[in-house]
Structure 1
Amino acid sequence: MTADSEMDIKEAFQRAQKGHNNKAKLVASLNSRYNKLEDKTLFHEEFVHYLKYAMIVYKREPTVENIIEFVASFIFNFLLESHKASSHAVRFRVCQLINKLLGSMAENAQIDDDLFDRIHQAMLVRVTDKFPNVRIQAALAMTRLQQPKDSDCPTINAYMLILENDTNAEVRRAVLSCIAMSPRTLPKVLKRTRDIKENVRKLAYQVLADKVHIKALTIAQRVTLVQQGLRDTSETVREMVSSRLLPAWLLRVEGNVIGLLHKLDVENCADTALETLKAIFKGTLTEELPQNRAQLDNRKLIPVDSLSCENVLYWRALCEFFKAQGDDGEEMLEQVLPDAATYADFLYRYLKVVPLLTEEQRADFNQLELVMTKEFISQQLIHLIGCLDTNEEGGRKRVLSVLQEMLALPQTPSSLVSLLTEKLLTLIPDDHRRIQTVAEIISDVREPIMEASAPMDENMSRRHQVQLAEVKVSIMEAKQTLEDSIAAQDFSRAAELKDSITELENRRNQILQEVQESSQPADKEIRTEKNDPETLLRCLTMCAELLKQMGIKTRIGPTISALMSSLVLPSIANAHPAVRNMAIVCLGTCTLHSRELAKAHMVLLLQIAQLDEVKIRISALWAIVDLLLLFGFQLLSETAANLMALNSKSPDRREEDALAAEEKGDAPEDTAQSILVMLSEFLDSEVSDLRTETAEGLAKLMYTGRISSAKMFSRLVLLWYNPVTEDDTRLRHCLGVFFQLYARESRAHQEVVEEGFMPTVRTLMNAPATSPLAEVDVNNVVELLVELTRPSALIKPSTNTEEVCVHDYLAVRICGEMLKDPTAPEVRLYTKTLSNLELSGDGTVKKDLQTLLQQLEVKDRISLRGLEKMIGQLADSKEQAELLSPSALQPLDVNADEAAADDPSKSAKRAKRGTAGTRKVCAARSGRKPSRRAESSEESDGENVPESVPQVRPSRRAKTAALEKTKLDLNTLINQEAN
C-alpha cells in the first residue's frame, strides 16, 4: 500500500488547503482509508470535526475554498462509486443526493471539470435505469448539467430521447420540468401537449406558458396549441390553457386582445380565435369587458373604414358572450350592439360594396386577398344577426327584407349564400312560410325578370314608307296644279286644290306618327331561365339550407317536389362537379323527409357513391348512412322489391325471380350484405377521406344497433392499428372514441367484440411480411380487446347473476384455439391473455376451463409456466368429484371463424412433430427460480416477487371422467362456423 493510501484525515485536510495538490489523489487516499475501516463512526466524527474549522470562516479565503472543494469531491466520489449498486433503493438515493447537492449550489457555482464529467456520465447511465423513480432523480440531477448552446449536448439529447420514448409518465414530467428551452427542444415539448397522460399535457402547457415567448412560436404552432388545449378531454388541461397560457401570451402583447388576435390566423381559423376570446372573457370581469370595445362609435357600430378581421371577430365574440349569459348580459349587450333596424342598414351598405371578381381579376393575388378579407368581415357581420333583438316587428321586418334582397342580388358572393339563408330561416319559425320564402328567392335568382323589346315588322315599315312617298308626291303635284290654277285665275279650282292639299298633309302627318310609333315599340318584362353553374350552385345552396332547417317530420309538399324535379334532379347530371355535389346533398337531405323518396333514389345514391369524383362520392355516402340510420336496412329490402317488380317483364319471369329469391335466401339480408361489401371495399380505399368517412359511418351504424357484425368490428380494429392510417388523425380519433363507447354501452356489444377477437388475431398472425399489418404489435391489440370486453367496464353491469361472463366465453374460445395446435407460436400470446381475463366466480365455469387447460400439451416453457399458474388459480378447494357436473359453456362455439377448419393432415403432422419432448401442463416441475416481476408503468418499488405456487391437481380419475365428457362436445364445436 502506498504512503498516500495510509494518509489520515488530518493530513488530507492539511494538504487539501494548498492549491497545487491533486485533490483527486487526496480523495482516493481518503476513500481507501475509509474502506479499510470496519467501524465508520470514528471516521465520520473526525471528518466532521476538521470540516468545522473551514465552516466557521466567512471570508472567501483560498485555503478555505480548497477545503470545501475537497469535501464536496470526496462526497461526490462516494456517491458516484455507489450508483451501480444492485439495489434499486441505493441507486435511487444516490441520484437523489446528487440532485439535492447540485440543486443547493449557488447559481454561479463552479465544479471541477473531471467531477463534472464523472457526474454527467453516471447520470446518463442512470436515466436508462430499470426503475422509474431512479430515472426521475437522475433526470432532475442533470438539470444544471445542460448546455443549451451546444448543438450536441449529451444531457439535452438524453432528455429528448426520454420525452420521445420513456413509457413512464412521471419520468416524462420530470424531464419536462427541467429541460432547457431552445430551438432543438421546443418541438419535443410541443409534442408532449399531445401526450397520452393528462398530467404530462398539463405540465407541457405550463412550461410553454412560463418559458416560451409567443414570438418564438409560428402562427401554425400557436393556433394548434390553443385549438388542442381548449378542446382537450381533460378539464385540468383546459383550465391550464385558459388560466396560464393565454394570460401569459396577453402579457407579452401588453394586454391588447386585438394584438393577440393578430398573432393568430383569424381568417383561416375563426373558430379557434372565437374559443380563445371566450376563454379570455371568462377570466375577465364582466364590467371590464365593454371598456375594451372594438372601436365602436356613438351608434354602437364600427366605422366601415375601420373594419378589420380582428376587430369584427372581437365584436362578434363579445356580443355572443353577452348573449349567452341571458338576462344577466342583456344590459351589457345593449352597450355594444345597436337596434335591429340600424344594424340591418349598416349590413346592407357594407354587403352592397363587396366586389364580385371576374376570372381575370381572380388571377391578381392582391385583389383576391382583398376580396377574401371583405368576405370574411361580411361573414362575421352576418353572424352578428343572431345577437340582435328581433322581437320588435319593425326591426325584424327590416332585417328580413335586407336578407332577402341580398340573396336575390347576383352580386352577392357565393360564399355568403349559405350563411344568409341560415339567418333568414332562423327569423322565420314556420316551415311552410320558410319553404315559400326560399322558393320565391330561388325563382327570382334562376328566372330573373328582364325587359325585352318586340322586333319591328319590316313589311309594315316598308308599307308606311311607300304610303308616305305617295302622299308627298300627291302634295307636290297638288301644289303645282294650285299655282297653275291661280295663274289661270281659276279660283274655284284653286279652292278645291287647297282643300285637297290640306287633306294630304293630314294624311302625311298620320303616316309619320304611325312610323314613329312602330320605330319605338313599348318594352315588356319577361323571365329567362339561367342554367350557368354559378346560378345553379346558389340556388342549390339555398335549397340545401332550407332542407336542413326543416323539421324532420315536415312532409315534402308540392313546392319542394317542384324544386326537386326542376332544380335538384337535373343538376345531378350537370358537368360542373360543385353543382353535382350540392345536388347530391339536397337529394340526400330531402330523402330524409320521405321514405318513399328514399326508396326511389337509394339505388341512384349507391351508384354515385361508387362512380363519381371523391368529394361527390363522400356526399352520397353521407346520404346513404343517414338513410340507414333513420330507416334501417329494411329500406334496402323495399328498394330491392321495387326494382324486382319493375324489372320483371312477364308473369312467368316474375315467378322465376320469386322462386330464385326463395332458394337464395331472404332478400333483405342479401341487399344488406351487398351494402356491407361496398362499405368494406371503401375501407380498403387508397383515398384517405373516403376511408375515414366510411369508417365513421360504420361506427355510427354499429353504435346505434343498425349493424351487429363481428367481422366488421374486426375490420375497424385492424384499420385503426394499420400503419397506413397513422397520419389520418381524424380516423384514429373517431375509432378510438367509438371502441370505448361501443364496448361500454351493453353486454351485447361486448359479445360482438368477443366474437371478433379470434378473426382479428388470426389476421395479424397470418399477415405476410409485405403487408403493413405485419408491423402491428399483436400483444397491444389483444390487450385492447381484453379491456373492451371486461365486464367491469360496462356502464350498466348486468344484474343477472346466472348469466355467463363474456370473458368466460373468450377463455373457452382461446382454449379451443390452443387445442387445435399446442405447438403454434401464438400459444404464448394466448397463455398471457388467459391470465389477464376477468373471469366470473362461477364454480362450474372454472371447472370447465380447468379441464380444457389440462388437455393441453405444450413444450414452450413460458407458456407452460403461464398455464400452470392459470390452473393453480382455477383450482377449487371443493371435492374434485364436482368436476363431473354439467358444463355451463358447452353450447359455445369455440372456433368462430371461417379459418377454424384447418387441414386435418397438418394438425396431425404438427401433433406428431410436437410429441417428442412435450409434457402435460400439470406434470411440470414447480421448483424453478422465482421470476422477476415486470416493471409497472407507474410504480417502481419491489424487485423479486416469487410466483404463487400452483395448487394440487385434481385426482386422476375425476379428471379423466371430465375430460372424456368434454371431448364429446369439443370435437363437434371445433368444426363449426363462426355465426
Structure 2
Amino acid sequence: MIDGKGDLNEDFIHFMKYVMVENKPEPTVERLVRFIAKTIAKAGNDKQMFGLFKDTMDFLLKSHEANHKAIRYRVCQIIALTVDYIGNGELDNDLCDDIIKCMHARLSDKIPSKVCADKLLQAWLTHYQANVLDLLGGLDTMSSGEICERSVNHIISKVSVEEILDGFDLLDEKLAATLSSDESKYEEKATTEYIIQQLIQCIQYLDISDPVSRSSVLALCKNLLSNDNLSLSLAPHLMHCLEQVLRVPQERVAEVATIISDIQMPNVTEEVPVDPDTLHQLKYKLAKVRMNLNELSELMAEAVAQQDFASAAQVKEKIEILEESKKALTEEMTPKPVTVPAETRTDAATTLKCLTIFVELMTSGDMCTMTDTIRSYMEELVIPSIPHSCPAIRKQAIKALGLCALCDQEVARKFLPIFLQICQLDDEAIKVSAIESLFDIIMVHGLECFQEKDTKSGSAPDEPEKLDNSDSDEVEEGGDREDVDPPPGNDVFTKEGDTSTDSTESQVYRSANDLIQMLVNFLEDDSSTIRTLCAEGLSKLLLTARIVSSKLLSRLVILWYNPVTEEDVRLRHCLGVFFPVYAFSSRDNQVQVEEAFIPTLQVIFDAPATSPLSDIDESNVVELLVQLTDPTQVKKVADQSALSGMTSHDSLAVKICNEIIERDNMYGVVVLAKALTMLQLSQDNELLARDLSNLSIQLSQVVKDKVSLKSIDKFKVKVDELKSKHVSIDSTADDNVGVEVAAKETTGEIDAAAEEIDSTVLDTTSLATSKLKRSAANTARSRINGSLDTMSSKYALQMEYNFGTGEILQQCNFDKTRIVIDY
C-alpha cells in the first residue's frame, strides 16, 4: 500500500533502478524504458503529478555520472524519450540547462559519435520532415558551425547526388538573398562569410587536371588572398585550395611569397599630368582642328542645299579625318595612369594577415625543409612580430616560429628561451601556442636537441639516452620541483676508457628534466585549456616513448580522478583513451604502469581531509590499474610463451603484500587486500607461488580487519592451489629424474655390453652380426637421449623467452633518443 505521493515517487524511482542496470537491449527492458519515459512525460504535464516528474528528473540528472556504463546509457535514453514524449510542452529553463549540461558531459564517453549519428541526427531530421535546410535553421550555426557542418555531412553522405541537386535551388535562393542583403549587419555578414567558405570548399571537387583550370583556380585564390576585405577565417580554406593546385612545395612557397609581397607592398595607380608646354601646344592644335571642323561643316551644309552630293561626300571624308585627330589630341591631353609600388605596409591588420597566410603555408604536411625563402620570412616577418603589442599577432608569430622550428633543429635550439619565456609570462592564448610548439618540437626532434651544439659530438644518437628511474620522493599532490641527480655509471654515453661524455649526459639530463618539469607543472595550472593541453602532450610523449616515467603516469592517473577536473571533459576523455592504448601496446609500458601502482595509491591514501584527492574512490583506481596491468591484454607479445614469465600481476602481488605488511596504519588495507584477489597470477612460476604463500601467511598475522582478512583468505586459497599444483609437478619431476638415472645406468650397461660384443664377435662371428648388435645399442641410446631432450625443452623455451624479451625492448625504442625521467 502506498500512503502518499512521496511514497509513490520513492517507489517509482526504486523500481526504475532495476531497469537502469540492464545493459542488454532486450524487448521487455525496452518496453519498460518507454513506459517509464511516458509516465514521466505525463507527470510533467499534470500539476498533481508534477512532483513525480521533478523527483525523477532530479534523480536521473544526478545519476548520469555513474561508473556503470549501462546506467549512464539508460539515463540518456530515458531523458531523450521523455523530452520527445513531452513534445510541444514547455520545460523549465533551469531544467533545460541541466539536461544540456548532462548531455554534454556524456559526450566524453567512448561511443557518443555513433549514437549521435545513427539516433539523434535521424530523430532531428525526422522532426523536420527530412528537410536539411529546416534542420539547419533549428541549429545554432553561428556559434556551432563545425558541429552543424559535420551533421550535414553525415546526413548528405546517405543521400544520392540527384536528390541533393533537386534541392539545390532552395540553397541558391537563400544565397542570392543573403549576398544582396545589407552586410553592415553582423549576422548577415557572418552568414555571407559562411556561404563563401562553403563555396571555396567546393573548389576541391572541381576538375583541375588541365592547365587552364589550374590557372583559373590559382588566379582566384591569389586575388582573394590579396584582397584587403578578405576575412581571416577564409584564409585557411583558400590556402587548402592553393595546396590542391600547387602540389610541389617549392612552387607553393614561391606563390605565397608573391602573395605576401603584394599584400605588404600593393601596387598603386597614379595619374601623371601632361607637361604644361606640351599641353599648351595640344590645346592650340585642338582649337585649330575645331575651327576646321566648323568650316567643313558649313561647306557640307551648302553642298547638300545645292544638291551637290559629290562635293558633300568629299567634305564628309575630311570631317571624319579631323574627328580622329580631335580624339587623338584629347587623349594626349588626358593624364596617364601609371602603376607604382607603394610603401611597405606595417599596420596590424596587414601583419596579422601575412602571418596567417604564412602559418597556413607551414602547416602543410610536406613543408619539412627550411628553404631560403622561409628563413627570410621567419627573420623579417615572424621574429619582429613576437614582441608586438597585439595579442593576435603575437599568437600567430609564436605559432609560425614553432612551425619553422619543426623544419630545422638549430632553429628549435636557438629560440627555445623564447618559447619558455612566453609559456610563463604571456596571455593564455599565446601560452597555449607556445606550449603546443614545445610539444611538437619534442615529438619531432627529441629532447636531445636542447643541449648545446658543441656537446653533441660525444653522444651516440642511435642509442637511447636512458636516465634511470631514481628512487626520488613519491608523487605529491602539488608542490615544489623534485631534482633528480643523473645516474652514475650509465654506459649509454660513456665508452670504455672515455669519460669525456659525462658532461654531455649531465647536461642532457638537466635540460630534459627542466623542460619536462615545467610542462608537468602546467598540469596544476588554473586554466582548464592549459591543463588539458599539457595532459594530452605528455600522453603523446609517453606513448611514442620520447619519455619514460612511471611517476608521470601516476600524476596523470591522479589528475584523471581528481574532482577538480570534473568539468574538463576533453582532458578526461583524452586520458581515458590514452591509458589502455599505452598500457596494452607493449610489456615495457605495462611495467611502467606497474611501478606507478603503489605510489598512486599512497598519494590518495595519505591525502588530507581538506584535499580534493580525499574524495577519490580508491577502489575505482585499483580496478583501473589492475586492468591496465593485465598481462593477457598486451598486444606486442612476440610469443605466447612470454606470458609464462614474471608478469606485472606477479610483481604487483609481491609489492602489494609488502605494502600491506609495511604500512604504519591500516587505512587503505581493505582496498589493497581486495586488489590481491583481482590479480591473474602465473601458473608456471613455482618460486612465485612459494614466496606468495609465505607472504600470505604473514598477512594473516598482521591484518586484523575482518573485511581485509576475508580478501586475504581468498587470495591465500588461490596461492595454495597454485603451490599444490607445483608440488604435484615436482613429484612427477622426481619420477622423471629416477627414470633418467635408470636410463643413464641402462645406457652405460648397453655401452659396456656393446664393447664386449664387438670384441668377441670380431673373432667368432661375421661382420654382419657385429653391425646388427651395434645398431641395437645405438637405437636404445637414441631413445633415451630423445626422452632427455623432451624433458629439457622447458629450459630451451625459457631461454627463447629471454631473448624474445630483449627483442621486444629493441622494438619499443623510438627512432630517435628516448629520455627516461621520473617525477
TM-score range, shorter chain: 0.5 to 0.7
Tell me the residue number matched to 2:213: 395
Tell me the residue number matched to 1:410: 228
Q: C-alpha deviations, 1:671-714, integer Å up to 9, x for none?
A: 11111210121111112211111111001101111111011111
Give the 3 Å change call, closer, same or farther, for CA 695–220 of structure 1 in structure 2: same
How many residues are matched? 619
Query: Please, which of 705, 719, 729 is the counterpart of residue 874 of structure 1?
Result: 719
Q: Distance in 2 between matches of 1:758 and 1:232?
A: 28
Q: Distance in 2 between matches of 1:210 and 1:287?
A: 35
Deviation at 1:733, TM superposition (A): 0.9
Tell me the residue number matched to 2:432: 618
Give the 3 Å change call, closer, same or farther, for CA 577–721 of structure 1 in structure 2: same
Tell me the residue number matched to 1:13: none
* Greater CA drift, 618-627 or 592-601: 592-601
Q: Distance in 2 between matches of 1:526 and 1:282?
A: 49
Tell me the residue number matched to 2:385: 571
Q: C-alpha deviations, 1:303-333, integer Å up to 9, x for none?
A: 863347xxxxxxxxxxxxxxxxxxxxxxxxx
Q: Distance in 2 between matches of 1:699 and 1:124?
A: 41
Q: C-alpha deviations, 1:820-869, integer Å up to 9, x for none?
A: 13752222221111111122213321221111121232222222222122
Q: Distance in 1 between matches of 2:17 and 2:211?
A: 74
Contact (CA 8 Å) 1:205, 1:240: kept in 2 or not? no
Q: TM-score scaled to structure 1, two decimals?
A: 0.56
Tell me the amino acid that sits aligned with residue 527 of structure 2.
V
Query: Please, which of 163, 183, 200 is the counterpart of residue 60 of structure 2?
Result: 163
Give the 3 Å change call, closer, same or farther, for CA 562–223 of structure 1 in structure 2: farther
Give the 3 Å change call, closer, same or farther, for CA 229–610 of structure 1 in structure 2: closer
Contact (CA 8 Å) 2:9, 2:56: kept in 1 or not? no
**Structure 1: where are the runs of 5+ without partners?**
1-79, 81-112, 173-193, 309-349, 356-365, 456-519, 645-657, 886-976
What SS does the aligned partner of 2:170 have?
coil
Q: C-alpha deviations, 1:448-496, integer Å up to 9, x for none?
A: 23468999xxxxxxxxxxxxxxxxxxxxxxxxxxxxxxxxxxxxxxxxx
Tell me the residue number matched to 2:308: none
Tell me the residue number matched to 2:534: 694
Q: Distance in 2 between matches of 1:395 and 1:664?
A: 56
1:454-469 correspondence to structure 2 within 5 Å: none
Q: C-alpha deviations, 1:181-214, integer Å up to 9, x for none?
A: xxxxxxxxxxxxx977556656655665565459
Give the 3 Å change call, closer, same or farther, for CA 278–543 of structure 1 in structure 2: closer
Q: Distance in 2 between matches of 1:250 and 1:131?
A: 28
Q: TM-score scaled to structure 2, two decimals?
A: 0.66
Q: C-alpha deviations, 1:569-615, integer Å up to 9, x for none?
A: 11112221111111111111111112222222223222222222211
Q: Distance in 2 between matches of 1:803 and 1:684?
A: 39
* Greater CA drift, 278-287 or 836-845: 278-287
Q: Distance in 2 between matches of 1:138 and 1:421?
A: 54
Query: Please, which of 341, 346, 356 is the counterpart of residue 531 of structure 1?
Result: 346
Tell me the residue number matched to 1:257: 132
Deviation at 1:371, TM superposition (A): 2.5
Contact (CA 8 Å) 2:265, 2:343: kept in 1 or not? yes
Tell me the amino acid that sits aligned with residue 685 of structure 1.
D
Query: Please, which of 658, 675, 682 is the counterpart of residue 816 of structure 1?
Result: 658
What SS does the aligned partner of 2:142 have?
coil
Q: Distance in 2 between matches of 1:231 and 1:638?
A: 43
Q: Distance in 1 between matches of 2:20 and 2:196?
A: 59
1:853 aligns with 2:667: no
Deviation at 1:144, TM superposition (A): 6.0
1:672-751 correspondence to structure 2 within 5 Å: 672-751=512-591
Tell me the residue number matched to 1:834: 676
Q: Distance in 2 between matches of 1:121 and 1:615?
A: 49
* Greater CA drift, 727-736 or 841-850: 841-850
Structure with higher RCO (Cα < 8 A, 6+ apart): 2
Tell me the amino acid that sits aligned with residue 60 of structure 2.
L
Tell me the residue number matched to 2:177: 306
1:888-907 correspondence to structure 2 within 5 Å: none
Q: C-alpha deviations, 1:904-933, integer Å up to 9, x for none?
A: xxxxxxxxxxxxxxxxxxxxxxxxxxxxxx
Q: Distance in 2 between matches of 1:223 and 1:411?
A: 38
Tell me the amino acid that sits aligned with residue 306 of structure 1.
A
What SS does the aligned partner of 2:185 have?
helix
Contact (CA 8 Å) 1:450, 1:525: kept in 2 or not? yes
Q: C-alpha deviations, 1:227-280, integer Å up to 9, x for none?
A: 99999854xx76665555444434443443211211111232222222322333
1:446 aligns with 2:271: no
Contact (CA 8 Å) 1:746, 1:795: kept in 2 or not? yes
Q: Distance in 2 between matches of 1:734 and 1:551?
A: 27
1:18-167 correspondence to structure 2 within 5 Å: 147-148=43-44, 149-150=46-47, 153=50, 155-157=52-54, 159-160=56-57, 162-164=59-61
Deviation at 1:640, TM superposition (A): 8.8
**Structure 2: where are the runs of 5+ without partners?**
23-27, 274-334, 459-497, 731-820
Contact (CA 8 Å) 2:563, 2:612: kept in 1 or not? yes
Contact (CA 8 Å) 1:209, 1:245: kept in 2 or not? no
Deviation at 1:226, TM superposition (A): 10
Q: Distance in 1 between matches of 2:822 and 2:266?
A: 64
Q: C-alpha deviations, 1:530-589, integer Å up to 9, x for none?
A: 211111111111111111125154x21211111111111111122211111111111111
Deviation at 1:426, TM superposition (A): 1.9
Contact (CA 8 Å) 1:723, 1:772: kept in 2 or not? yes
Contact (CA 8 Å) 1:823, 1:859: kept in 2 or not? no
Contact (CA 8 Å) 2:253, 2:361: kept in 1 or not? yes
Q: Distance in 2 between matches of 1:302 and 1:389?
A: 26
Tell me the amino acid that sits aligned with residue 653 of structure 2.
A
Deviation at 1:808, TM superposition (A): 0.8
Tell me the residue number matched to 2:774: none
Query: Please, which of 547, 570, 595 is the counterpart of residue 362 of structure 2?
Result: 547
Tell me the amino acid that sits aligned with residue 153 of structure 2.
K
1:318-329 correspondence to structure 2 within 5 Å: none
Tell me the residue number matched to 2:599: 759
Q: C-alpha deviations, 1:879-898, integer Å up to 9, x for none?
A: 79969x9xxxxxxxxxxxxx
Give the 3 Å change call, closer, same or farther, for CA 214–640 of structure 1 in structure 2: farther
Query: Please, which of 274, 294, 312 is the counterpart of residue 149 of structure 2?
Result: 274
Tell me the amino acid that sits aligned with residue 709 of structure 2.
L
Q: Distance in 1 between matches of 2:174 and 2:13?
A: 63
Deviation at 1:629, TM superposition (A): 0.8
Over the matched positions of the two proteins, sequence identity in percent amounts to 31
Q: Please identify the structure whose Cα radius of gyration is greater.
A: 1
Give the 3 Å change call, closer, same or farther, for CA 248–765 of structure 1 in structure 2: closer
Deviation at 1:529, TM superposition (A): 1.5
Contact (CA 8 Å) 1:592, 1:598: kept in 2 or not? yes
Give the 3 Å change call, closer, same or farther, for CA 773–394 of structure 1 in structure 2: same
Q: Distance in 2 between matches of 1:120 and 1:522?
A: 86
Aligned alpha-carbon RMSD (Å): 4.5
Q: Distance in 2 between matches of 1:690 and 1:612?
A: 13
Give the 3 Å change call, closer, same or farther, for CA 615–717 of structure 1 in structure 2: same
Deviation at 1:161, TM superposition (A): 5.3
Query: Please, which of 649, 655, 662 is the counterpart of residue 807 of structure 1?
Result: 649
Q: C-alpha deviations, 1:918-966, integer Å up to 9, x for none?
A: xxxxxxxxxxxxxxxxxxxxxxxxxxxxxxxxxxxxxxxxxxxxxxxxx
Deviation at 1:147, TM superposition (A): 3.5
What SS does the aligned partner of 2:209 have?
coil
Contact (CA 8 Å) 1:791, 1:806: kept in 2 or not? yes
Q: Distance in 2 between matches of 1:582 and 1:202?
A: 44
Tell me the amino acid that sits aligned with residue 394 of structure 2.
R
Q: Distance in 1 between matches of 2:154 and 2:90?
A: 21
Contact (CA 8 Å) 1:571, 1:579: kept in 2 or not? yes
Q: C-alpha deviations, 1:382-430, integer Å up to 9, x for none?
A: 2221222222332321221121112122222233233222222221111
Give the 3 Å change call, closer, same or farther, for CA 195–256 of structure 1 in structure 2: same
